């Protein structure tokens, strides 16, 4: 009798696992949300877990409002889209980037609500998503805390203001840009979602270099780091979800400091 | 039979819960009348219960003066018991060196006594004490049971204070936090440096201003002491702990400033290039990563401000 019950239990447990296993490879991070994310964010498209997609983040988020990430899929070669998500955030999707002429890598900071897998998915021309990721522990609460800017008086006057610098490196130009924006998630009572949604980087002649779709979990006053083809001057333009524009022309400084690489 | 096993398991669980956790505090004498309880060179964990900190006490003719109360109610109580094993004299006063939770959350055990701290330390504990307390529960668990914040009830002014034949020089400095109290016992020559000095363990920076900290270390160099008790790490008889703390902070400041100036993204710096003697400090990797979060945003903002941007709105 007991034998039969065990057999039944075994079958009950094993069947669904088997079914999933047939659909996608086992998740190295063993996340409960992975199958949900695969369906919701990647439309169930073919995926491989691939060490060439690197996600660098501290093992523990010291500040849940500002978890630094460095995402690098350059080892894959050509990448059509680079998607970043934090699985256990109430709003998982962080960034959807079309690298185009830029290198498929980016630095940014995000809010995390609790300990979570943070993943990057890079889509190659053959229609396969390559996934990398890490687990990050956190005290949490980053998504349901009001932005600091909402508490200070001058953020509204400086909304969309860009501070940026362009560094000339051996084979590329590095862009680091900081944009004044509260990046409110809409999860705090009485404060609607208010966040930068789109950014495009163009060469001075107008040629599109890279396109980014940003989402609520990106930290307040986003600081983005991108590697572009050699360029002396570019424009960064976009808007937030309320239609407020961001537009700035960024040039290589004549003196780029004493610490050039 | 099964029922019996079930009951014995229940009993065992009950017994385990009844056992008080024990920090195994052992006062070590560092000078005449002066004892130090040395914490682990680790991070907060369920196994060390937050005992990563040094506390100390001076047995004077007028009673015992305690410096810092540890990370929890339980630590405070066990500290009091450890003092009672050394002397019959009552505790008469507690000094809190700064606002960090591992140094003051044992205050409950000394609630009815004067608990002295610098004004900014009092304010900081009132403002952030509960947040610290919640966070320590998350990091060390049930060791924190019954711990609540008791803010220092006495504002300390810098200067000389004589207690039971010990001349205590109270020195107000800053840099590790906005207010760091240092106590030099001129009678015994013991310097309680608080967290302005770490020894063998990587310094922490959540409320640090590195320039002020370096200036404070220069002040400490000038003091005439026989034994220095750092906030974390073993007591020493030379100024080696001061120069080690200074060397680490100097490297941290220089490295992060250079990286910000050359355009590095924060998460590109998780594996820093650091000299071997600094890498060997306890919990180097964890504390460096925390410091990156604390210090890099301001350094990177300064570096970005040098860029050339025209707003086109």
Interface confidence (ipTM) of the complex: 0.87
B289 with A62: Cβ contact below 8 A: yes
> Which pLDDT value is given to residue B278?
97
> Which pLDDT value is given to residue A13?
53
* A20 has pLDDT over 90: no
B contacts of A58 (beta carbons < 8 Å):
267, 270, 289, 292-293
| Domain limits, chain B | 22-239
| Long-range Cβ contacts of B234-240 (<8 Å, 24+ apart) | B234/B38, B234/B199, B234/B200, B235/B28, B235/B30, B235/B36, B235/B38, B235/B54, B236/B199, B240/B199
Q: What is the pLDDT along chain B (313 residues), one digit of tens a residue?
A: 566 666 665 555 555 455 579 999 999 999 999 999 999 999 999 999 999 999 999 999 999 999 999 999 999 999 999 999 999 999 999 999 999 999 999 999 999 999 999 999 999 999 999 999 998 998 899 999 999 999 999 999 999 999 999 999 999 999 999 999 999 999 999 999 999 999 999 999 999 999 999 999 999 999 999 999 999 999 999 999 999 999 999 999 999 999 999 999 999 999 999 999 999 999 999 999 999 999 999 999 999 999 999 998 6
B312 with A247: Cβ contact below 8 A: yes
Task: Name the residue facing A167 among B263, B292, B301 (closest C-beta).
Answer: B263
A contacts of B294 (beta carbons < 8 Å):
62
B contacts of A148 (beta carbons < 8 Å):
none
> Which pLDDT value is given to residue A16?
47
* A221, A202 Cβ separation under 8 angstroms: no
Task: Name the residue facing A261 among B262, B301, B303 (closest C-beta).
Answer: B262
| Domains of chain A, CATH where assigned | 25-251 (2.60.40.2470)
Per-residue model confidence as pLDDT tens digits over B117-138: 999 999 999 999 999 999 899 8
A259 with B292: Cβ contact below 8 A: no
A contacts of B270 (beta carbons < 8 Å):
56-58, 70
Name the pLDDT band for A22 (thresholds 50, 70, 90). Answer: very low
* A144 has pLDDT over 90: no
CATH top class, domain B22-239: alpha beta
B268 with A66: Cβ contact below 8 A: no
A contacts of B206 (beta carbons < 8 Å):
62
Name the pLDDT band for A257 (thresholds 50, 70, 90). Answer: very low
> Which pLDDT value is given to residue B312?
84
Per-residue model confidence as pLDDT tens digits over B91-118: 999 999 999 999 999 999 999 999 999 9
In Å, how far is A1's CA from the nearest CA of chain B? 19
* A261, A169 Cβ separation under 8 angstroms: yes
* A7 has pLDDT over 90: no
Q: How far apart are CA A79 and CA B84, in angstroms?
A: 68
Q: How far apart are CA A112 and CA A145, in angstroms?
A: 10
Task: Name the residue facing A63 among B261, B270, B293 (closest C-beta).
Answer: B293
Three-state SS string across chain A, please? CHHHHHHHHHHHHHHHHHHHHHHCCCCCCCCCCHHHHHHHHHCCCCEEECCCCEEECCCEECCCCCEEEEEECHHHCCCCEEEEEECCCCCCEEEEEECCCCCCEEEEEECCCCCEEEEEEEECCCCCEEEEEEEEEECCCHHHCCCCHHHCCCHHHHCCCEEEEEEECCCCEEEEEEECCCCECCCECCECCECEEEEEEEECCCCEEEEEEECCCECCCCEEEEEECCCCEEEEEEEECCCCEEEEEEECCCCCCCCCC
User: How far does CA A124 lie from the centroid of its chain?
Assistant: 17
């Amino acid at each position: 009798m007991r034998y039969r019950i065990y057999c039944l239990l075994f079958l009950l447990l094993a069947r669904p696992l088997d079914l999933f296993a047939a659909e996608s490879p086992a998740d190295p991070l063993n996340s409960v949300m992975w199958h949900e994310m695969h369906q919701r964010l990647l439309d169930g498209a073919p995926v491989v877990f691939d060490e060439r997609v690197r996600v660098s983040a501290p093992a523990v988020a010291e500040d849940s409002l500002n978890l630094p990430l460095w995402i690098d899929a350059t080892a894959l070669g050509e990448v059509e889209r680079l998607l970043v998500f934090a699985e256990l955030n109430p709003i998982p999707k962080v960034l959807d980037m079309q690298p185009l002429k830029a290198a498929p890598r980016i630095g940014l900071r995000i809010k995390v609500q609790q300990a979570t897998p943070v993943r990057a998915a890079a889509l190659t021309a053959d229609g396969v998503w390559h996934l990398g990721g890490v687990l990050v522990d956190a005290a949490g609460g980053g998504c349901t805390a009001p932005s600091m800017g909402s508490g200070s008086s001058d953020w509204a006057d400086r909304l969309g203001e860009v501070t940026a610098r362009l560094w000339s490196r051996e084979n590329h130009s590095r862009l680091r840009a900081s944009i004044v924006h509260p990046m409110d998630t809409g999860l705090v009572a009485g404060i609607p979602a208010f966040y930068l949604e789109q950014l495009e980087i163009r060469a001075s002649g107008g040629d599109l270099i890279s396109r980014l779709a940003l989402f609520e979990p990106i930290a307040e006053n986003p600081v983005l780091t991108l590697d572009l083809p050699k360029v002396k001057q570019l424009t960064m333009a976009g808007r937030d979800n309320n239609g407020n524009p961001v537009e700035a022309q960024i040039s290589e400084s004549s003196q780029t400091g004493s610490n050039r690489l | 039979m099964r029922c019996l096993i079930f009951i014995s398991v229940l009993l065992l669980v009950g017994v385990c819960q009844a056992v008080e956790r024990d920090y195994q505090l052992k006062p070590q004498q560092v000078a005449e009348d002066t004892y130090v309880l040395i914490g682990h060179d680790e991070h907060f964990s369920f196994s060390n219960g937050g005992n990563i900190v040094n506390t100390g006490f001076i047995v004077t003719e007028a009673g015992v003066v305690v410096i810092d109360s540890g990370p929890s109610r339980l630590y405070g109580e066990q500290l009091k018991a450890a003092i009672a094993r050394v002397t019959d004299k009552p505790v008469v006063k507690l000094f809190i060196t700064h606002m960090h939770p591992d140094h003051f959350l044992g205050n409950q055990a000394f609630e009815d006594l004067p608990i002295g701290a610098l004004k900014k330390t009092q304010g900081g504990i009132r403002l952030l004490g509960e947040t610290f307390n919640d966070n320590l529960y998350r990091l060390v668990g049930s060791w924190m049971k019954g711990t609540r914040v008791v803010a220092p009830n006495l504002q300390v002014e810098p200067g000389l204070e004589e207690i039971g034949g010990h001349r205590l020089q109270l020195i107000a400095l800053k840099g590790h936090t906005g207010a760091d109290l240092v106590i030099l016992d001129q009678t015994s020559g013991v310097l309680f440096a608080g967290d302005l000095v770490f020894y063998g363990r990587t310094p922490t920076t959540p409320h640090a201003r590195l320039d002020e900290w370096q200036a404070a270390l220069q002040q400490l160099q000038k003091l005439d002491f026989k034994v220095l008790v750092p906030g974390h790490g073993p007591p020493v008889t030379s100024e080696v702990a001061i120069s080690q703390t200074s060397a680490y902070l100097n490297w941290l400041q220089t490295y992060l400033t250079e990286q910000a100036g050359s355009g590095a993204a924060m998460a590109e710096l998780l594996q820093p290039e650091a000299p071997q003697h600094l890498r060997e400090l306890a919990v180097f990797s964890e504390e460096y990563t925390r410091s990156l979060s604390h210090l890099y945003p301001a350094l990177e903002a300064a570096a970005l401000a040098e860029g050339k941007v025209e707003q086109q709105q």
